[in-house]
Amino acid sequence: MNMRKLLVATRNKGKIEEIRSELKDLAFNVVGLEEAGVPKDFDVEEPAMTMEGNAIIKAMAYGRKTGLLTLSEDAGLEVDALDGRPGVFSARYAPGTDEDRYRKLLSEMAGVPDEKRGAQFRAVVALYDPNNEKIRTCEGIYRGVIIREPRGTNGFGYDPVFYNADLKKTNAEMSREEKNAVSHRGMALRKAKTILDDEFTK
Protein backbone atom coordinates (compact mmCIF):
# COMPACT_ATOMS: atom_id res chain seq x y z
CA MET A 1 0.00 0.00 0.00
CA ASN A 2 1.33 3.42 -0.95
CA MET A 3 1.46 5.75 2.02
CA ARG A 4 0.10 9.23 1.49
CA LYS A 5 2.77 11.93 1.56
CA LEU A 6 2.59 14.54 4.30
CA LEU A 7 4.63 17.62 3.52
CA VAL A 8 6.18 19.40 6.50
CA ALA A 9 6.53 23.03 5.42
CA THR A 10 10.04 23.70 6.72
CA ARG A 11 13.70 23.37 5.71
CA ASN A 12 14.77 23.20 9.37
CA LYS A 13 16.16 19.67 9.67
CA GLY A 14 15.86 19.65 13.48
CA LYS A 15 12.19 20.53 13.24
CA ILE A 16 11.52 17.92 10.53
CA GLU A 17 13.13 15.20 12.66
CA GLU A 18 11.10 16.18 15.74
CA ILE A 19 7.88 16.07 13.69
CA ARG A 20 8.81 12.82 11.96
CA SER A 21 9.59 11.24 15.33
CA GLU A 22 6.25 12.32 16.81
CA LEU A 23 4.22 11.10 13.80
CA LYS A 24 6.18 7.89 13.16
CA ASP A 25 3.33 5.47 13.84
CA LEU A 26 0.89 7.18 11.45
CA ALA A 27 0.39 5.89 7.91
CA PHE A 28 2.03 8.88 6.23
CA ASN A 29 5.32 9.34 4.41
CA VAL A 30 6.62 12.53 6.07
CA VAL A 31 8.74 14.68 3.72
CA GLY A 32 10.32 18.13 4.03
CA LEU A 33 10.37 20.89 1.43
CA GLU A 34 13.67 19.74 -0.08
CA GLU A 35 12.53 16.12 -0.41
CA ALA A 36 9.32 17.36 -2.07
CA GLY A 37 11.40 19.31 -4.61
CA VAL A 38 10.16 22.76 -3.58
CA PRO A 39 12.68 25.24 -5.04
CA LYS A 40 14.69 27.27 -2.52
CA ASP A 41 13.53 30.51 -4.10
CA PHE A 42 9.88 29.64 -3.39
CA ASP A 43 9.61 31.44 -0.10
CA VAL A 44 6.39 32.21 1.73
CA GLU A 45 6.01 35.52 3.56
CA GLU A 46 4.59 35.39 7.09
CA PRO A 47 2.68 38.69 7.33
CA ALA A 48 0.11 37.64 9.94
CA MET A 49 0.26 39.03 13.46
CA THR A 50 -0.63 35.66 14.99
CA MET A 51 1.07 32.27 14.88
CA GLU A 52 -2.17 30.65 13.74
CA GLY A 53 -2.41 33.08 10.80
CA ASN A 54 1.16 32.41 9.70
CA ALA A 55 0.78 28.62 10.05
CA ILE A 56 -2.34 28.66 7.84
CA ILE A 57 -0.71 30.92 5.21
CA LYS A 58 2.32 28.59 4.97
CA ALA A 59 0.27 25.39 4.88
CA MET A 60 -1.95 26.69 2.08
CA ALA A 61 0.90 28.14 0.00
CA TYR A 62 3.04 25.00 0.10
CA GLY A 63 0.03 22.68 -0.22
CA ARG A 64 -1.13 24.45 -3.36
CA LYS A 65 2.41 24.55 -4.75
CA THR A 66 2.95 20.79 -4.34
CA GLY A 67 -0.57 19.32 -4.32
CA LEU A 68 0.36 17.53 -1.08
CA LEU A 69 -1.37 17.34 2.28
CA THR A 70 0.69 19.89 4.22
CA LEU A 71 1.54 20.41 7.86
CA SER A 72 2.86 23.83 8.78
CA GLU A 73 3.85 25.02 12.20
CA ASP A 74 4.53 28.44 13.62
CA ALA A 75 5.97 28.78 17.08
CA GLY A 76 7.35 31.47 19.27
CA LEU A 77 8.64 32.33 22.70
CA GLU A 78 6.43 34.55 24.86
CA VAL A 79 8.29 36.08 27.81
CA ASP A 80 6.22 37.36 30.75
CA ALA A 81 8.59 40.22 31.66
CA LEU A 82 8.62 41.41 28.02
CA ASP A 83 4.81 41.52 27.73
CA GLY A 84 4.78 38.41 25.54
CA ARG A 85 7.64 39.38 23.25
CA PRO A 86 9.27 38.19 21.02
CA GLY A 87 6.16 36.10 20.26
CA VAL A 88 5.29 35.93 16.58
CA PHE A 89 8.61 37.67 15.81
CA SER A 90 10.77 35.05 17.62
CA ALA A 91 12.60 33.92 14.47
CA ARG A 92 13.19 37.56 13.44
CA TYR A 93 14.01 38.94 16.90
CA ALA A 94 17.59 39.69 15.88
CA PRO A 95 19.48 39.19 12.61
CA GLY A 96 22.02 36.37 12.43
CA THR A 97 22.03 33.03 14.24
CA ASP A 98 19.94 31.37 16.93
CA GLU A 99 22.67 32.37 19.38
CA ASP A 100 22.41 36.03 18.32
CA ARG A 101 18.70 35.90 19.12
CA TYR A 102 18.97 34.29 22.54
CA ARG A 103 21.89 36.57 23.45
CA LYS A 104 19.70 39.58 22.64
CA LEU A 105 16.97 38.09 24.84
CA LEU A 106 19.40 37.57 27.73
CA SER A 107 20.67 41.14 27.44
CA GLU A 108 17.09 42.51 27.41
CA MET A 109 16.36 40.48 30.55
CA ALA A 110 19.60 41.26 32.39
CA GLY A 111 17.82 43.26 35.10
CA VAL A 112 14.84 40.91 35.52
CA PRO A 113 14.89 39.06 38.90
CA ASP A 114 14.77 35.25 38.95
CA GLU A 115 11.17 35.07 40.19
CA LYS A 116 9.93 37.13 37.21
CA ARG A 117 11.67 35.22 34.40
CA GLY A 118 8.70 33.02 33.47
CA ALA A 119 8.05 32.34 29.79
CA GLN A 120 6.20 29.99 27.50
CA PHE A 121 6.68 28.49 24.10
CA ARG A 122 3.53 28.42 21.97
CA ALA A 123 3.21 26.28 18.83
CA VAL A 124 0.34 26.31 16.35
CA VAL A 125 0.05 23.51 13.79
CA ALA A 126 -2.04 23.96 10.64
CA LEU A 127 -3.06 21.09 8.37
CA TYR A 128 -4.21 21.81 4.81
CA ASP A 129 -5.47 19.39 2.17
CA PRO A 130 -5.42 20.94 -1.34
CA ASN A 131 -7.72 18.16 -2.59
CA ASN A 132 -10.71 19.48 -0.65
CA GLU A 133 -9.49 22.79 0.86
CA LYS A 134 -9.87 21.40 4.39
CA ILE A 135 -7.94 23.32 7.07
CA ARG A 136 -7.49 22.34 10.71
CA THR A 137 -5.40 23.94 13.47
CA CYS A 138 -4.32 23.06 16.99
CA GLU A 139 -1.86 24.46 19.52
CA GLY A 140 0.42 23.54 22.41
CA ILE A 141 1.78 25.71 25.24
CA TYR A 142 4.86 24.84 27.32
CA ARG A 143 5.81 26.86 30.42
CA GLY A 144 9.35 27.38 31.69
CA VAL A 145 11.90 29.94 32.87
CA ILE A 146 14.56 31.97 31.03
CA ILE A 147 17.90 31.31 32.74
CA ARG A 148 20.83 33.75 32.71
CA GLU A 149 23.41 31.70 30.76
CA PRO A 150 22.90 29.12 27.98
CA ARG A 151 23.24 25.43 28.81
CA GLY A 152 23.29 22.39 26.51
CA THR A 153 23.99 21.72 22.85
CA ASN A 154 20.87 19.89 21.62
CA GLY A 155 17.83 21.44 19.97
CA PHE A 156 17.71 24.82 18.26
CA GLY A 157 16.33 28.33 18.66
CA TYR A 158 15.97 29.47 22.26
CA ASP A 159 16.41 25.95 23.69
CA PRO A 160 19.71 26.67 25.54
CA VAL A 161 18.11 29.39 27.71
CA PHE A 162 14.65 27.84 28.31
CA TYR A 163 14.68 25.89 31.58
CA ASN A 164 12.24 23.17 32.66
CA ALA A 165 12.05 23.18 36.47
CA ASP A 166 10.50 19.69 36.68
CA LEU A 167 13.28 18.04 34.66
CA LYS A 168 15.94 20.47 35.97
CA LYS A 169 17.27 20.85 32.43
CA THR A 170 17.15 23.36 29.61
CA ASN A 171 15.54 22.18 26.38
CA ALA A 172 19.06 21.97 24.93
CA GLU A 173 20.11 19.50 27.64
CA MET A 174 17.25 17.12 26.83
CA SER A 175 17.18 14.19 24.45
CA ARG A 176 14.75 14.52 21.54
CA GLU A 177 12.40 12.07 23.29
CA GLU A 178 12.46 14.08 26.54
CA LYS A 179 11.83 17.32 24.70
CA ASN A 180 9.00 15.92 22.55
CA ALA A 181 7.30 14.61 25.70
CA VAL A 182 7.03 18.08 27.28
CA SER A 183 7.41 20.66 24.51
CA HIS A 184 4.84 22.95 22.91
CA ARG A 185 5.55 21.36 19.53
CA GLY A 186 5.13 17.86 21.00
CA MET A 187 1.77 18.84 22.52
CA ALA A 188 0.52 20.44 19.30
CA LEU A 189 1.75 17.49 17.23
CA ARG A 190 -0.03 14.96 19.44
CA LYS A 191 -3.26 16.89 18.82
CA ALA A 192 -2.42 17.09 15.09
CA LYS A 193 -1.80 13.34 15.07
CA THR A 194 -5.34 12.68 16.28
CA ILE A 195 -6.76 15.07 13.68
CA LEU A 196 -4.67 13.47 10.90
CA ASP A 197 -5.81 10.01 11.94
CA ASP A 198 -9.49 10.98 12.27
CA GLU A 199 -9.88 13.31 9.30
CA PHE A 200 -7.08 12.92 6.76
CA THR A 201 -6.47 9.17 6.40
CA LYS A 202 -9.83 8.31 4.84
Q: Which residues are catalytic?
A: 74
Half-sphere exposure of 61 (CA within 13 A, CB side): 18
| Cα 138 to chain centroid, rounded | 12
Q: Name the amino acid, one letter, at 11.
A: R
78 bridge partner residues: 86, 120
Closest CA to 129 of 6, 1, 32: 6
Name the burial class of residue 42, with classes exposed (0-12), middle (13-18) and buried (19+) by CB atoms within 10 angstroms of its CB: exposed
